[in-house]
């Protein structure tokens, strides 16, 4: 009896000590990311300052280069050695892949306390969750389906607005080409080819067709006449780029529009950062308009996943970090620096530029119409091997005389092989 009471007393004392330790644990978070330059680095610094102001200890683990490839190599090594960072920059299906391996911690208590289900778009919630549990937090929303245009160049063929349909786009491009002007600035890299392709899929087929082909991988839709029409339009797009497009970086294509060497570029809103950095003014020095579609909006979202860690200080750090990332203050600060818009709904847009305000307004309309959709080209809609199968066919078609009929056959075959 004495022994039982002693064990019980010891257990109660240990529990009280653990509770006290957790309550006074210094929130600590090691953050693995690849935002090492420009506005991104400034935004990370702002988050660090907020975290430290709340009593947290920030351990910065930046890994430069490779659009995150180098960081993922480091992450795999750390997880295998049992030393995962608390928070890691991850996006799209990669979040689900790590969650399936049991590597991620859930954030449901923070999500409930902060009301994330009420302030995050439904499509974003799905990406941040695994089997109904929040395991990651969104930082921003980039819109992919943008046309960036130089109004002075358009004026040379007596045009003042960006086309609203693909037929109008082709007509304008033909006029520009006849006038000796490059209609479309483009960098011949697979992901850039895919960026144009998915906007054409959205515009030619509509949001439902995009869902069927780029997300559901429905075979009937992939081999349909509508998909042939998509490749027909891609063949036209190939005729609107200059001869030296192969291998060009996206920002150099943006510079072509900025400098008047081309009329338009199809690229996500990170291109806006190039214009703004050069002191250009939206609506005056450059035009931003969505690629033609009916209430479509292709998004690319940066996010942080929280990995399983040991220690009350690290768990407390994760929860504090998650709370701050989805909070209004950071969502505004970060996205003003990044050129994107907040992932959190309802953040005041007073300090944002006209393109960002347009993006936020279109997001709401697209959500209501079922057209707010994840980007295939930017790793949001499909796992890497499936997206890669599509992109390989798109690039092969764009850089050859392949017919639309053959492209559709190859697309179906490539997707089926990737599924196996």
Q: Are strands 262-266 and 182-185 parallel, antiparallel or unpaired?
A: parallel
Give 44-69 as a DSSP string: HHHHHHHHHHTT-EEEEEE--SGGGH
**Which pLDDT score, from 0 to 100, does residue 13 have?**
37
Helix, coil or strand: residue 374: strand
**Which pLDDT score, from 0 to 100, does residue 9 have?**
37
Contact 243, 261 (CB under 8 A): no
Contact 312, 21 (CB under 8 A): yes
**pLDDT tens digits, one per residue of 109-168:** 999 999 999 999 999 999 999 999 999 999 999 999 999 999 999 999 999 999 999 999
Report angle CA 357, 124, 194 to the nearest 5 degrees. 80
Do domains 27-142+301-357 and 144-299+376-419 share one topology? The answer is yes
Domain at 27-142+301-357: CATH architecture: 3-Layer(aba) Sandwich (3.40)
Output the CATH code of domain 144-299+376-419: 3.40.190.10
- End-to-end CA separation in angstroms for the chain: 63
**pLDDT tens digits, one per residue of 255-313:** 999 999 999 999 999 999 899 889 999 999 999 999 999 999 999 999 999 999 999 99
Report angle CA 337, 338, 339 to the nearest 5 degrees. 100
Sole residue written with tokens 């033609």? 292
Burial 243-277 (b: 16+ CB within 10 A, else e): eebeebebeebbbbbbeeebbbbbbbbbbbbbbbe
* Domain residue ranges of the chain, discontinuous segments joined by +: 27-142+301-357, 144-299+376-419
**Which pLDDT score, from 0 to 100, does residue 16 have?**
37
Written as six digits, the tokens of 209 are 């067709």
Name, in order, each residue with C-beta under 8 angstroms of 143's C-beta and a sequence gap of 6 or more.
268, 269, 290, 297, 298, 299, 300, 340, 341, 359, 362, 363
| DSSP one-letter code for 104 | B
Query: How many beta carbons lie within 10 A of that of residue 66, not counting itself?
Result: 11
**Which pLDDT score, from 0 to 100, does residue 35 have?**
86
Segments of the chain scoring below 70 in pLDDT: 1-24, 65-67
**Which pLDDT score, from 0 to 100, does residue 40 have?**
79
């Amino acid at each position: 009896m004495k022994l039982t009471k002693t064990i019980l007393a010891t257990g109660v004392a240990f529990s009280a000590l653990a509770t006290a330790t957790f309550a006074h644990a210094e929130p600590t978070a090691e953050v693995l990311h690849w935002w090492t330059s420009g506005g991104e680095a400034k935004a990370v610094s702002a988050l660090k300052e907020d975290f430290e102001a709340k009593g947290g200890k920030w351990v910065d683990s930046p890994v430069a280069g490779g659009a995150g490839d180098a960081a993922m190599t480091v992450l795999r090594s750390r997880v295998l050695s049992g030393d995962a960072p608390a928070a890691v920059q991850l996006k799209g299906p990669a979040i689900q892949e790590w969650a399936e391996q049991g590597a991620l911690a859930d954030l449901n208590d923070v999500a409930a306390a902060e009301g994330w289900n009420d302030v995050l778009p439904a499509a974003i919630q799905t990406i941040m969750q695994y089997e109904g549990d929040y395991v990651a937090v969104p930082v921003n929303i980039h819109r992919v389906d943008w046309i960036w245009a130089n109004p002075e160049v358009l004026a040379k063929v007596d045009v003042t607005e960006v086309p609203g349909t693909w037929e109008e786009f082709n007509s304008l491009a033909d006029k520009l080409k006849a006038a000796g002007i490059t209609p479309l600035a483009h960098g011949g890299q697979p992901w850039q080819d895919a960026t144009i392709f998915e906007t054409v899929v959205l515009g030619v087929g509509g949001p439902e067709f995009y869902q069927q082909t780029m997300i559901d991988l429905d075979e009937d839709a992939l081999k349909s006449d509508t998909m042939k029409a998509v490749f027909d339009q891609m063949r036209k797009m190939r005729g609107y780029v200059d001869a030296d497009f192969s291998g060009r970086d996206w920002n150099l294509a943006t510079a072509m529009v900025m400098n008047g060497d081309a009329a338009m570029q199809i690229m996500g809103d990170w291109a806006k950062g190039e214009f703004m950095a050069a002191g250009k003014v939206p609506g005056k020095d450059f035009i931003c308009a969505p690629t033609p579609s009916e209430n479509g909006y292709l998004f690319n979202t940066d996010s942080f996943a929280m990995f399983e860690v040991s220690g009350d200080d690290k768990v407390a750090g994760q929860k504090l970090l998650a709370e701050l990332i989805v909070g209004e203050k950071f969502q505004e600060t970060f996205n003003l620096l990044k050129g994107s818009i907040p992932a959190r709904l309802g953040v005041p847009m007073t300090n944002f530029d006209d393109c960002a305000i347009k993006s936020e307004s279109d997001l709401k309309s697209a959500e209501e119409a079922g057209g707010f959709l994840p980007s295939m080209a930017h790793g949001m809609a499909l796992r890497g091997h499936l997206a890669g199968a599509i992109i390989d066919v798109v690039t092969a078609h764009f850089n050859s005389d392949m017919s639309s009929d053959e492209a559709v056959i190859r697309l179906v075959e490539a997707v089926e092989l990737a599924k196996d």
